[in-house]
Structure 1
Amino acid sequence: MAEATLVVGAMWGDEGKGKMIDVLSSKVQLCLRGQGGHNAGHTIVAGGTTYDFHLLPSGLVNPKCVNLIGSGCVVHVPSFFKELEDVKKKGLKTDDRIYISDRAHVDFDLFQAVDGLEEIELGKESIGTTKKDLDSPTFSSKAARSGMMIADVFDYDILEVKLRRLEDGYRKRFGDLLKYDVEEELERFKGYIEKLQPYVIDEVPLLRSAKQQKAKILVEGAQAIMLDISFGTYPYVTSSNCSVGGILAGLSLDWRSIKEVIGVVKAYTTRVGSGPFPTEQLNPTGEKLQQTGHEVGVTTGRKRRCGWLDLVVVKYSHEVNGYTSLNLTKLDILDDFETLEVATSYVHPSTGEALDSFPANGKVLAGVEVRYETLKGWKSSTFGAKRWEDLPTEARDYVEFIEKFVGVKVKYIGTGPDREHMIYRDSLPV
């Protein structure tokens, strides 16, 4: 039996999953993506070089790791090739190390044009998508059974009929607002067919072989649980399932192979796009977190909204995903605070009663009163710390408070951007 470790975001994304994935991928034979597309963003700093991954699995940084974009993903082919060229220019060798499942769905330029128009239609109620082609139209077409799998593009006749049908439907809806040339995209795909062929495989035999060889597998989550279409802050979510269950639905991975689920938690809270954010600090504290933490989206370039650590979110996330351990990131960003506020409960805006869990109702969530615990800051540098004993007492208290509240051990603590900036309180699971 193969052994799999899942690394997933426990908040609204941008928790810093890339470094944990980078560390683990050096010890595995396979790195898999099971959901999302190129609107994801993972940053890895290795050997002084910064790599920004979007669609490609971050395991490409490590030369012995084979990487798969799985069946639950959507693939924007031009972005795939551009990202591949970008990492090659930085010295990464990708030959025979990156594959796409033939069951993954195609994310056309048509969908990017439509995504922007759908946001315009929503007006003040816009979701705040990345406009990166897929927050709605690609997954909508998949669910409506009008989309196309990667396997379909190798039959040009099928590709042409289906893409023209999609374009015609959107043209009837949006009219002249749809600025898109179907002829141009069809012509480009003629060139992609041969170029794409070496990367496309049936993922089932690959994972069957991994199982037979008792391979070590890393599964890389994109986005995070609070952006999950079923368990997130709907409708301000992505269009795929970012939970453990959703990721497994996008891969032919035997559930019995899962040995570890690592939830990645930032030492404070951030999110991008629209939607309720109970602990957001629209004040100098939020600005300080944003500037000190360099909180700018890898994919979009948007400034992230920032606030205090929300343990209501993290505990809810654990109850949905079932973490075996936590990776706390960016602890060093809190080095210069006298005190730290940590959200521990929400109070219903109408009844005044403490809520039992994270609420589904957006209006309730937007109006909750947040109850905080105040913890003492440490006012000294933790940057680059590599041992638990090197942390100030107050920093250790902060970590232990998180552990006790969530009920999961914080085994890994990030103290800076480099892969070496990590405290290990336990051995790695692979």
Structure 2
Amino acid sequence: MVDAILGLQWGDEGKGKIVDYFAPQYDIIARFQGGPNAGHTLYVGGKKVVLHQIPSGVFHENTTNLIGNGVVLDPVTLKRECETVAGFGVDVRKNLFISQRTHLILPTHRALDKASELQKGNDKIGSTLKGIGPAYMDKTGRNGLRVGDLLDKSFTTSYIRLRLKHQRLLDNFNFQEDITAWEEEFFEAIDFLRSLNVVNGEYFINEKISAGKKVLAEGAQGSMLDIDFGTFPFVTSSNTTTSGVCNGLGVAPQKIRDVMGVTKAYCTRVGSGPFPTELEDETGEELRKLGNEFGATTGRPRRCGWIDLVALKYACMINGVTKVIMTKADVLDKFKELSVCTAYNVDGQVTPYVPFQMTRHQIVPELQAFPGWNTDTTQITDYAGLPEKMKEYVGFINEFTGVKVSHISNGPGRDQIVTV
């Protein structure tokens, strides 16, 4: 049995905390896509920890953690994270496993990412410059190196061959930066990676499922950044939706049971791209301030706006979401009035649908106002204790999307989650 937790917006929904909250109910936590551009924030013993590559169940002693083949792996980032996790007394050699088929991010992937983004100028997509896109391009172009290749004696030769190919591309970009230090760090991390548990991921996880183990598939980014169904071309390079679970772990569709979609009580987006409900005013600034909306990976300020129910309903549909988990509901505690987007006005025509290409249209959100609850909800532990106006807000979202909000997160702490 496999349950999935994934984002329903443009990422940054608070999935790390949610995975951490549900982890004790599962035997295995498995990352199925994305790379070090994902920052999943946890609080362990009151200390903030941001995980970029390691699954968010790593701090649970009896939980096995798998990095699946759908992930692109930066060995340098992984090594640093393992060292951080070890500082909390966790031995990753006991509870972390990596699929042989997981593709590697090379130093030249990072260089290509930076060179490409610089060349785009004002048309840049807001890449995190972690080498994600170029690594996925090598994967689909059948040039990439995988974790399993590290165990082959020809790895260095294969690396040099691919590096030379990348260098020709970098020369075309007129990229002059010296990446020698990046390579030294990379090969140190490669030696470390060889000491970890490298497994045949699809057999590993299916044997666990056959043995009755419960698996929680952890997604990165969000559905509106999906390479196929997101706001293209301002998207990530992988399938962030439920289909990515099958591709990224090697499990069959019928093995998936619950799909738990995570959404903020409002909307945020990092980087460029369409954002119909964005608030470029004092209200947007207040959301950013109260929600501490700065990227866990990049530190960039997030764009903020009201919740977009058109996009949320769309995301629930394409993922087959069975439960919605709402995070950061407490950020709305101080607002006297709230708004939700119930339709788009696209070039003068009102529609309930997400357009094929948002960037080609003028999109104005059709907003419906709701009274705020003006109550501190951070200490409330049961649904009955929540303000009636918050229940009305959540109830409207339930009815509009057709999927029930099952949990409401009302603070950053592990215990600040209300079951509905």
Letter in 1 for 2:372: G
- In the alignment, the residues of structure 2 paired with residue 111 and residue 23 of structure 1 have an alpha-carbon distance, to the nearest angstrom, of 34
- In the alignment, the residues of structure 2 paired with residue 173 and residue 45 of structure 1 have an alpha-carbon distance, to the nearest angstrom, of 41
**Mean CA deviation greater in 167-176 or 298-307:** 167-176
Q: From 74, 77, 82, give the equivalent of 1:76.
A: 74
Is the contact between residue 245 and residue 251 of structure 2 (CA under 8 Å) also seen in structure 1? Answer: no
Distance 1:178 1:237, change over 3 A: farther
Cα offsets for 1:233-287 (capped at 9, x unmatched): 1111111110100232111223222121001010000010101111110110010
Residue aligning to 1:226 = 224
Aligned: 1:397 with 2:392: yes
> Following superposition of structure 1 onto structure 2, how do residues 66-105 of structure 1 map, counting pairs within 5 Å?
66-105=64-103
> Following superposition of structure 1 onto structure 2, how do residues 90-169 of structure 1 map, counting pairs within 5 Å?
90-134=88-132, 136-157=133-154, 159-169=155-165
Aligned: 1:411 with 2:406: yes
Deviation at 1:385, TM superposition (A): 1.5
Q: From 355, 359, 362, give the equivalent of 2:358.
A: 362
Is the contact between residue 171 and residue 178 of structure 1 (CA under 8 Å) also seen in structure 2? Answer: no
Cα offsets for 1:205-229 (capped at 9, x unmatched): 3223212211111110111101111
SS at match of 1:374: strand
Distance 1:181 1:330, change over 3 A: closer
Residue aligning to 2:214 = 216
Letter in 1 for 2:368: E
Distance 1:187 1:14, change over 3 A: closer
Deviation at 1:397, TM superposition (A): 0.5
- In the alignment, the residues of structure 2 paired with residue 266 and residue 328 of structure 1 have an alpha-carbon distance, to the nearest angstrom, of 5
Cα offsets for 1:55-114 (capped at 9, x unmatched): 000000211100000011111111111101011113334331001100000111111111
Deviation at 1:194, TM superposition (A): 6.4
- In the alignment, the residues of structure 2 paired with residue 16 and residue 188 of structure 1 have an alpha-carbon distance, to the nearest angstrom, of 30
SS at match of 2:249: coil
- In the alignment, the residues of structure 1 paired with residue 246 and residue 206 of structure 2 have an alpha-carbon distance, to the nearest angstrom, of 15
- In the alignment, the residues of structure 2 paired with residue 404 and residue 91 of structure 1 have an alpha-carbon distance, to the nearest angstrom, of 45
Is the contact between residue 327 and residue 413 of structure 1 (CA under 8 Å) also seen in structure 2? Answer: yes
Is the contact between residue 12 and residue 271 of structure 1 (CA under 8 Å) also seen in structure 2? Answer: yes
Letter in 2 for 1:192: I
Is the contact between residue 46 and residue 418 of structure 1 (CA under 8 Å) also seen in structure 2? Answer: no
Cα offsets for 1:99-151 (capped at 9, x unmatched): 110000011111111100000111111010001121x1100011111111111
Deviation at 1:156, TM superposition (A): 4.1
Is the contact between residue 160 and residue 186 of structure 1 (CA under 8 Å) also seen in structure 2? Answer: no
Distance 1:373 1:195, change over 3 A: closer
Letter in 2 for 1:400: G
Cα offsets for 1:165-195 (capped at 9, x unmatched): 3332333233251424579737953773465
Residue aligning to 1:428 = none
Is the contact between residue 33 and residue 72 of structure 2 (CA under 8 Å) also seen in structure 1? Answer: yes
- In the alignment, the residues of structure 2 paired with residue 188 and residue 120 of structure 1 have an alpha-carbon distance, to the nearest angstrom, of 23
SS at match of 1:43: strand
Aligned: 1:192 with 2:190: yes
SS at match of 2:16: helix
Letter in 2 for 1:344: T
Is the contact between residue 79 and residue 189 of structure 2 (CA under 8 Å) also seen in structure 1? Answer: no
Q: Structure 1: 5+ residue runs without aligned partners?
A: 426-430
Q: From 154, 157, 167, give the equivalent of 1:171.
A: 167
- In the alignment, the residues of structure 2 paired with residue 18 and residue 30 of structure 1 have an alpha-carbon distance, to the nearest angstrom, of 15
CA RMSD, 1 decimal: 1.8
Aligned: 1:335 with 2:333: yes
Residue aligning to 2:383 = 388
Distance 1:182 1:167, change over 3 A: farther
SS at match of 1:335: helix
Is the contact between residue 108 and residue 167 of structure 2 (CA under 8 Å) also seen in structure 1? Answer: no
SS at match of 2:330: helix
Deviation at 1:362, TM superposition (A): 3.0
Is the contact between residue 33 and residue 57 of structure 1 (CA under 8 Å) also seen in structure 2? Answer: yes
Q: TM-score, normalised by structure 1?
A: 0.93
Q: Structure 2: 5+ residue runs without aligned partners?
A: none
- In the alignment, the residues of structure 1 paired with residue 182 and residue 305 of structure 2 have an alpha-carbon distance, to the nearest angstrom, of 44
Is the contact between residue 164 and residue 182 of structure 1 (CA under 8 Å) also seen in structure 2? Answer: no
- In the alignment, the residues of structure 2 paired with residue 389 and residue 89 of structure 1 have an alpha-carbon distance, to the nearest angstrom, of 40
SS at match of 1:290: helix
Deviation at 1:47, TM superposition (A): 3.2
Distance 1:188 1:118, change over 3 A: closer
SS at match of 2:350: coil
Aligned: 1:306 with 2:304: yes
- In the alignment, the residues of structure 1 paired with residue 100 and residue 351 of structure 2 have an alpha-carbon distance, to the nearest angstrom, of 44
Is the contact between residue 265 and residue 328 of structure 2 (CA under 8 Å) also seen in structure 1? Answer: yes
Distance 1:392 1:191, change over 3 A: closer
- In the alignment, the residues of structure 2 paired with residue 164 and residue 181 of structure 1 have an alpha-carbon distance, to the nearest angstrom, of 14
